[in-house]
Each structure stands twice: as structure tokens, then as C-alpha cells.
A = this chain, B = another copy of it.
Amino acid sequence: MDTLDILRQLAIIIIAAKLFGLLARKLKAPQVVGEIVAGLLLGPSLFNWVSQSDFITGLAEIGVIMLMFSAGLETNINQLKKTGIKATAIACSGVFVPLVAGTLLYLGYYRITNPDPEQLLHAVFMGSIITATSVSITVQALKEMGKLTTEVGTAILSAAIIDDVIGIIVLTVVLSFRNPDSSVGMVVLKTVAFFAIVVILGYLVYRILKILDAKYPHTRRIPIIGLALAFGLSYVADKYFGVADITGAYVAGVIMSSLDDSEYIDRKMDVNSYMIFGPVFFASIGLQTNVHTLDTGVLLFSLCFVLVGLLSKIVGCGSISRLCGFKGKECLIVGCGMMTRGEVALIISQKGLAVGLLESKYFTSVILLIVFSSILTPIILKVLFGDEKTSKNEQKKVTT
């Protein structure tokens, strides 16, 4: 592809992604869904104006690294330390139940009773896609209702952070098994080695960066070092430890998340993400989806996938909340608050496609899960909180 064509394709992708992103927001759906739809329309499904070239794939890959680095940056380690046993329990159950449910769905749907290792890996991967919560929509809904700082709100927020960390570990382990020369022992060893080295070296890097940041606050070099660290650690993770590159990027973000300038770095990363790399990544998901190859089989699977995705989080997070002392409706609120999915589910899917653990047709399932969860959650939360108010009022009436 010549450079001239790159310019044409980028112009089209950027403007279409923005347009449909805004349209999606108008319709109360997440912007990324609009950007995916833009890719869908521009690609082989309809107009065929843009092709999924090597260059676009490369840009999308950089976009993924940036998004995961940002996710890491937004992990507040100090808050993580403070969050109690409750949030940790909710997060663990909120990862475990969907992971198992997704695996069983795959095995059940395709009636695989005696899976070989390859089939099992595909099944577990399907499960790990639905482990990743994306609470930005929940946060916004809670904020609007003024419920963000309630006990339930705090539990959801903290659980979502821990959920990310556990999710990335699960994903790391699952993807490690993809390595052709992998033995279980080797995979575990390498993964443990990676995290051990990252904790030690990461702390050293963090101390050095802290000094640098104090000396040169708000200078360009700080976000530049961050980006280089993200790229570098992604490479090292994948190349030398067989750990997914996105894990490396996420860890780089976590390392820098306690710097005074972490927000400043995140803002600069964000400009890069929303101008080019983000839209290209999300549009490329659409570009890789050809609606003509969708059959009723995939659609039926998607329907089950969405149901399992939503219910497994509600059951996983809701049931454990009950054990943690939350009451009736509150458990449902925690469960529904945790059921939204977003960018990370797409990033994981893309990774799965790259390593051959997922077929591109399943993108449809993931996109539908994102759409449904994002639209349903705010509505359900509103209803539940509305009910709660009434029941409290009723309680008051009884007691007074």
C-alpha cells in the first residue's frame, strides 16, 4: 500500500469513526460501538472503502498498547491497598463465575463433551473475554443519580479495579498456553518470573521516575518515557516471557500510576488515542467483521453469549455481595453495576484473533455484549435505585 492510500484511508476512518461515535452517544450507546459500526460500514461488509492493511493493523496494535497503558495508569494502587476484603471477594467471584460460565457455554453450545487441549483453550478463552468489567458507564450512571459515594457505589468501583488486575492475570495465563513449546510448568514459571521481575524492577523504575518527575514536572519527557516504557515492556513481556504484550503495557501503566504526573501522562496519551490510534483500532474491529459471513449459528451463539455474559456477572458479583453483608436489592445493584463490558473485552478478543484462539466472527458476539450491557445497565440501575428509595420510604412509614 502506498503512502498516499494511507492518507486517504486515515482521513475516512477518522472522520467516520468520530461521526458514528457521536451518533452512538446521542443514542445513549458507548462511543466505541459507533466507531466499530463505522469500520463495519467502511469495510467488506458494505462500502469496501478501507481495507485492513498491514499498516492499519500496526496502528491498531499501537492503539491497543496505548489503551492498556492508560488502563494501567488509571489503576490507583493506593486505593487498591485500602479497598477491603469485600471488594476483593466481589472481584474474584466476578472473574471466576463468568470465566467458568463462558467456558461451559462454548463447550455446551458446540456439544464438546471430551475436549482436547486445543478445544479447551478456545473454550477458556471465550470465558476470559467476559471477565473484564468496564465500569465507566456504571460510574456515569451512579454519578448522575448521586449514588457514586454510597457503600454500593464504592464497592463496585473498587471491585472493578481489582477485577482488572485479576482479569489480566487470567488472560496472561490463558494466552501463555498458546505458545507452541509450552509446558504447564514452563508457562507458570515464566509468568511468575515476569511478575516477580516486574515488581522488583518496576519499583526501581518507579523510584527513578519519581525523582525525574519531581525535577521536571509537566514536561514532555515524562509522557514520552511512559510511552516508551509501555512499548518496551510489551515487547519484553511477549518476547522473553511469553506473556501477552497487552499485559506488559498494562503493567507499565501501573508502574507509573503513582507518579504525581500520572494524570498528566494519561491526558497526553488520551490525545494520541482519540485523534488517531483509538478510532483506527475500533474501526479495525469493524473492518475485520464481514456481516456476509454471519450465519444464524453465530447469531444464536451471540444471543447465548450475551445472556451468559450478563447473568454470570450478576450471579458472580451479586451472590458474593450477599455473603459480604449487602442486602437484597443492593446485591442486584452490585451485580448489574459490574456487568458492563467495554474496550478491554475488545482488546482481549483482538489478541485472541491474533494468536488463533478466536475466530473473527465472534467479534459480533462481543460487540453485542458491549452494546446490550451498556444500554441495559443504566436503565436497570435507575429502576433499582428508584425502587430502593420507595421501599425505604415505605419502611420509614412503617417505623414512624
Enumerate chain A interface residues (CB-CB to B < 8 A).
Answer: 3-4, 6-8, 10-11, 14-15, 18, 22, 54-55, 57-58, 61-62, 65, 220-221, 223-225, 227-229, 231-232, 234-235, 238-239, 245, 268, 271-272, 274-276, 354
Contacts and interface: CB of A to CB of B under 8 A. Distances in A.
Contacts of A221: 18, 22
Contacts of A10: 62, 228, 231
Given A18-B228, A224-B275, A268-B271, 14 more contacts: A3-B58, A3-B61, A4-B235, A6-B61, A7-B235, A7-B245, A8-B235, A8-B239, A11-B232, A14-B231, A55-B55, A55-B58, A227-B275, A272-B276
A14 B232 CA distance: 10
A231 B11 contact: yes
Contact of A228 (B3, B15, B61): B15
Interface centre among A220, A238, A239 (most CB of B within 10 A): A220
Kindly report how many copies of this chain are found in the complex they form together.
2
A307 to B, nearest CB: 34
Contacts of A268: 271, 275
A145 to B, nearest CB: 26
Dominant SS among interface residues on chain A: helix
Nearest to A17: B224
A267 to B, nearest CB: 9
Nearest to A249: B7
A149 to B, nearest CB: 28
A231 B3 CA distance: 11
A238 B18 CA distance: 25
Contacts of A4: 235, 238-239, 245
A346 B216 CA distance: 30
A17 to B, nearest CB: 9
A357 to B, nearest CB: 16
A224 B10 CA distance: 11
Contact of A271 (B58, B235, B238, B272): B272
Contact of A7 (B220, B224, B234): B234
Contacts of A229: 11
Given A4-B238, A245-B4, A275 B223 contact: yes
21 contacts: A3-B58, A4-B245, A7-B232, A7-B235, A8-B231, A8-B239, A10-B62, A11-B232, A14-B228, A14-B231, A15-B224, A15-B228, A15-B232, A18-B228, A62-B276, A224-B274, A224-B275, A227-B275, A227-B276, A268-B271, A272-B272
